[in-house]
Structure 1
Amino acid sequence: MTSLTTGLILLRGGRVYTPAAPDATAMVVRGDTVEWVGTDSAAQVAYGDAADQVIDLDGALVTPAFVDAHVHLTSTGLALSGLDLAGCRSLAEALDRLARHAREHPGEVICGQGWDETDWPEGRPPTRAEIDAAAGDALVYLSRVDVHSAVVSSALLAAAPGIQQADGYTEDGWLRREAHHIARRVARDAITPGQRRVLQRAALRRAAELGIGALHECGGPEISGEDDFTDLLRLAGEEPGPEVYGLWGELGAVDKAERLGAHAVAGDLCCDGAIGSRTAYLREPYADAPDTRGARYLTAGDVAEHLVACTRAGVQAGFHAIGDAALDAVVEGFAKAAQVVGEAALVAARHRVEHAEMADTDLIAAFARYGVIASVQPAFDAAWGGPDGMYARRLGAERALAMNPFAALAAAGVPLAFGSDAPVTPLDPWGAIRAAVYHHNPDQRISARAAFTAHTRGGWRALGRDTEGVLRPGAPATYAIWQVGELVVQAPDERIQAWSTDPRSRVPGLPDLSPGVAPPRCLRTVVRGRIVYTREGALE
């Protein structure tokens, strides 16, 4: 269902998550705007029988729709409808999936993603020879879960002139750095515009089903290409669904970003790679590969020049930076830029950094000083944190424990915007909130309220829209309706996972996110008054 609600709509008989009235059970929407929130009885007094439509919530919870602050929607569509290698428990299983997909799709280019060798008994990715044996002469591109390296077939290498001389090339087919960028372009160019549209629609549909009302698409010349980026923005603008805001990751490309319709010259403008692929740029070598500290793609000078250009143009800038050495370069770049445009101008511009997984105390203090927004992904800790996780294997226990410092960032006053980096981790906003609340390091846990804010208002704040992401009179009618159990309020100490149902708290309750408790189920998603998803049979 994708229709614009008209007239006066009264939602009643549920619970509304709003700071305007902690005990609210009803909400009134007129067109694309929230007009009123309060109790059922107060709604009757204020509006009587004036509503053109009454929706009985039957105890459901109404919240602001989520914002996913870091996605790659075409690749997410591939993960939803193509060859998904996430969850493969062994190299053998991954090769079996590849072989089956090749048999079922003869003559097609195969783009798969999501493999992660760290927990496989074989302890390694597929080789080019194994891919050729499984898929024959098909052109095959299989990206690792972090999408910063890939394994490819001989046919793809033959279609990529010069790749053997590129940095990061290996004979066994596992490609990193520039060689990976070349291979990704070959695979990307093999997807037709029609196929791309199908993939993008699938990703947007899935987002709507999960109560996501807006997404930050991270594109760039090495990520998705101009056609993919502009086609997605056009599709999202023409068809009802979640809103899409484009971040174009190219150094100094202020004019190009404007031409492409981008909101910012930011996102995956990569200073380094990723921990899993050992391309994140570190101060000290990897624990499991002492001969490397990863890859540096931008210098502090590059960062400074980009910041100055964007700040002067009144455009948000941003960078992908994971390793501590890469974050050092970002912070040094901010210091250099401040000497040119001034600290106040940098703060006002609300520049952003994606991931910031290895930010330490000094780096966090610099983020706060320069007004940096941290666009972070709690699911990374859920997937790779802990004493036996990928972080610990790549970095050692001490460095792994300090990863993804959400509580330290929040305590320093650094604004947080939560995302998934889908398809690196799936679209799953409630799962991200749970991951932040139950971070592997208890010292880095944040409250459910803080996490929910980061996944709603935080995403809007990262776009410079401070009035959105909250349900109160005058706000946009962008919301989701959820089937939930009992609502709870987290104890004041953010590191003690205790919950209360005491109504005297005067704090709006959220679903119980304790481990083992089923997440809320989305019944409806509304974007600026337009229904973009309704679960079959719900709210009738």
Structure 2
Amino acid sequence: MTSSAKDPAEQPAVLLRGGSVYNPAEPYATAMLTVGDTVAWIGSEDGADLHADSAETVIDLNGALVTPAFTDSHVHATSTGLALTGLDLSGATSGTDLLDRVAAYARTLPGDAVVLGTGWDETEWADAIPPSAAELDRAAGGRQVYLSRVDVHSAAVSTALLSAVPEAGAAVGFRGSGLVAQEAHHLLRSAAFSRITPAQRTDAQRAARRRAAELGIGALHECGGPQISGEADFTGLLELAAAEVGPYVFGYWGELTDPIKAHELGGVGAGGDLFIDGAIGSRTAALRDPYTDAVETGDPAHGGVNYLDVEQIGAFVAACAEVGVQPGFHVIGDYAMDLLVGGLDLAADAVGHGRVRALSVRAEHAEMADHKVIEKLAGHGVVVSAQPGFDAAWGGPEGMYARRLGIERAEAMNPFAAYGAAGVVLAFGSDSPVTPLGPWEAVRAAAFHRTRSSRITVRAAFAAHTRGGWRALRPGAPGVPGDEQGVLAPGAAATYAVWQAGDLVVQTPDSRVAAWSTDERAGVPGLPDLTPGEPTPRCLRTAVRGRVAHDRLAG
């Protein structure tokens, strides 16, 4: 589904001039004219003088940069909005601090309200011990409490919530003391989120779209499913996006069922969070070898879990090929990657290699892929929807990945350069609220990956977060406009962002920065300097098909 479209004839002609316009054809362009929902012209100040009389609105950019709007290829809008407007635990520094935050938040709620929170990460705490159900009972005054871990693959819950879902105590993943994962987590998450009223849900979704627009994001890929948000949440978000100005929302429905259901619900594909495995932080990502820290602690979940096998994956991809619906899978661990490529091989044997390639199968996250797996993904035409913020948050020799997996495996994660070299299409996103919405931060994280050999150029990372998001959408899917390609050019949709940024530079993977060349033969457009420590560009305007979703520019 898309954002609502006003009649282009009713939208004014707008001339933006006096800045820089990032586009493939005119690397030194300073102005852009949009008419209705379309880019009509891009060029120099001399050309802007000629177009000024035909524009109803003329805006002096004062040196600002105009780029295609970003696309976030993996989000959870309602959870993002709840974190923005409610209990965000990402800053909790200890179990005690978390409990204090829960208590303060609970005091603002009615006595029968459920306490929903997200974002805690015990790996950075001194004791690394999540709160128990009894501690949450005391902090929340006996209320039902659901607090998802930062990766949203496990949670801490209160006794009141456990009592409301007695079957969770016997489900796989019930770890006692209020910590749950796997099936127990899915049951309790569904129960907690069922308490959200339609009005609360809509408010959260509006907050997420508003925040995205403020950050220059013009399109979101919502990854829903029965274990993530439920059908009412999914369809409600798509209806909201169709009715109100703001970023596009394209829905992926992750359920192992008839793939046509995704289209029936208004989505563009059958995937997103169709789980092959879990997450590394919760030790549920499926690995070939044991978790390093789990060997030391005797954790029975040392190898993680897989929710689908090769035969199920292959059958689902083949079913998608039969009805022309794009499939996708949540896949993180190296064993889970093996399962994915095995399933793709089975599907190719069943329906033909060309038909599988034509699906543009999506691999969400795809963090632990070696060269053999990457070659397989490229051969099957897989699109990797990745989150550079994961490496920024948990990579490096002292990060959570190294603690869970050991340094050697951790350093090989999120191999963006290897994907690019193999010809795999990369689309970047946040998995918000797992990591926050922040497209420039993601571009920086990819360009300054903690493993040098996995770095890509700023331009390549920017392309993955703009063009890549549109390439990840299967052409011809319901609701996917053909004139949106994540680039600014005459005839393209007027979906753009305006940025207050410093000097424009060309930045290479080894961190060298060159001033934007004045040699016209170079023809290389520049982007803001994203060297760590440099300020992040500030969004001044976001427009989606010419309709302004966020504005700090004066006309």
TM-score by length of 2: 0.94
Partner of 2:287: 282
SS of equivalent to 1:104:
coil
SS of equivalent to 2:293:
coil
Partner of 1:475: 492
Residue 133 of structure 1, CA deviation: 1.7
Partner of 1:514: 531
**How do 1:387-426 and structure 2 match up within 5 A?**
387-426=397-436
Residue 87 of structure 1, CA deviation: 1.7
Partner of 2:478: none
1:224 counterpart (224, 229, 234): 229
Residue 321 of structure 1 pairs with residue 331 of structure 2: yes
1:108-160 superposed Cα distances (whole Å, 9 cap, x missing partner):
21000100000101111111111112112100000000000001000000111
Contact 2:384/2:426, CA 8 A, preserved across alignment: yes
Q: Which runs of 4+ in 1 moved over 6 A?
A: 2-5
2:142 counterpart (132, 137, 142): 137
Partner of 1:495: 510
Contact 1:523/1:539, CA 8 A, preserved across alignment: no
Partner of 2:263: 258
Residue 360 of structure 1, CA deviation: 0.7
Q: How far, CA to CA, are the matches of 1:375 and 1:499 in structure 2? A: 29
Partner of 2:133: 128
Tell me which amino acid in the other structure corresponds to 1:23: Y
Partner of 2:218: 213
Contact 2:511/2:531, CA 8 A, preserved across alignment: no
Residue 468 of structure 1, CA deviation: 1.2
Residue 48 of structure 1, CA deviation: 5.5
Tell me which amino acid in the other structure corresponds to 1:151: A
Residue 499 of structure 1, CA deviation: 2.9
1:97 counterpart (91, 98, 101): 101
- The Cα RMSD (Å) is 1.3
1:28-71 superposed Cα distances (whole Å, 9 cap, x missing partner):
111000011111112324x3522222111111100000000000
2:92 counterpart (67, 88, 91): 88
Partner of 2:156: 151
SS of equivalent to 2:107:
helix
1:475-529 superposed Cα distances (whole Å, 9 cap, x missing partner):
00000011111111124xx334333232223211101101111111111100001
1:140-195 superposed Cα distances (whole Å, 9 cap, x missing partner):
00000000000100000011131111001122010010000000011110001111
Residue 33 of structure 1 pairs with residue 43 of structure 2: no
Deviation larger for 13-22 or 120-129? 120-129
Tell me which amino acid in the other structure corresponds to 1:232: L
Partner of 1:365: 375
Tell me which amino acid in the other structure corresponds to 1:56: D
Structure 1 unaligned segments of length 5 or more: list them. Answer: none
**How do 1:237-386 and structure 2 match up within 5 A?**
237-290=242-295, 291=300, 292-386=302-396
1:452 counterpart (462, 470, 487): 462
SS of equivalent to 2:550:
strand
Tell me which amino acid in the other structure corresponds to 1:427: L
Q: How far, CA to CA, are the matches of 2:55 and 2:513 in structure 1? A: 40
Partner of 1:177: 182
Tell me which amino acid in the other structure corresponds to 2:544: V
SS of equivalent to 1:503:
coil
TM-score by length of 1: 0.97
SS of equivalent to 1:55:
strand
1:54 counterpart (30, 42, 58): 58
Partner of 2:479: none
Q: How far, CA to CA, are the matches of 1:512 and 1:503 in structure 2? A: 17
Tell me which amino acid in the other structure corresponds to 1:102: A
Contact 2:33/2:39, CA 8 A, preserved across alignment: yes
Q: How far, CA to CA, are the matches of 2:510 and 2:76 in structure 1? A: 32
Q: How far, CA to CA, are the matches of 2:14 and 2:238 in structure 1? A: 30
**How do 1:98-117 and structure 2 match up within 5 A?**
98-107=102-111, 108-117=113-122
Q: How far, CA to CA, are the matches of 2:315 and 2:61 in structure 1? A: 52
Deviation larger for 98-107 or 324-333? 98-107
Q: How far, CA to CA, are the matches of 2:218 and 2:357 in structure 1? A: 27
Tell me which amino acid in the other structure corresponds to 2:513: A
Q: How far, CA to CA, are the matches of 1:132 and 1:427 in structure 2? A: 31
Tell me which amino acid in the other structure corresponds to 1:96: D
Contact 1:118/1:390, CA 8 A, preserved across alignment: yes
Contact 1:252/1:310, CA 8 A, preserved across alignment: no
Q: How far, CA to CA, are the matches of 2:250 and 2:397 in structure 1? A: 37
Q: How far, CA to CA, are the matches of 1:52 and 1:246 in structure 2? A: 35
Q: How far, CA to CA, are the matches of 1:256 and 1:367 in structure 2? A: 26
Q: How far, CA to CA, are the matches of 2:382 and 2:510 in structure 1? A: 25
Change (3 A) 1:157 1:23: same
Q: How far, CA to CA, are the matches of 1:175 and 1:138 in structure 2? A: 18
1:324-343 superposed Cα distances (whole Å, 9 cap, x missing partner):
00110000000000001111
Tell me which amino acid in the other structure corresponds to 1:486: D
Q: What is the total number of aligned residue pairs between the two structures?
A: 534
Residue 88 of structure 1, CA deviation: 1.2
SS of equivalent to 1:233:
helix
Tell me which amino acid in the other structure corresponds to 2:355: A
Q: How far, CA to CA, are the matches of 1:503 and 1:478 in structure 2? A: 28
Partner of 1:70: 74
Residue 311 of structure 1, CA deviation: 1.1
Contact 1:150/1:175, CA 8 A, preserved across alignment: yes
2:501 counterpart (474, 484, 494): 484
Tell me which amino acid in the other structure corresponds to 1:251: L
Q: How far, CA to CA, are the matches of 1:496 and 1:232 in structure 2? A: 40
Contact 1:433/1:451, CA 8 A, preserved across alignment: yes
Q: How far, CA to CA, are the matches of 2:263 and 2:149 in structure 1? A: 32
Partner of 2:167: 162
1:281-307 superposed Cα distances (whole Å, 9 cap, x missing partner):
000000000242001100000100110
Identical aligned pairs, as a percentage? 58
Structure 2 unaligned segments of length 5 or more: list them. Answer: 476-481
SS of equivalent to 1:237:
helix
Residue 6 of structure 1, CA deviation: 2.3
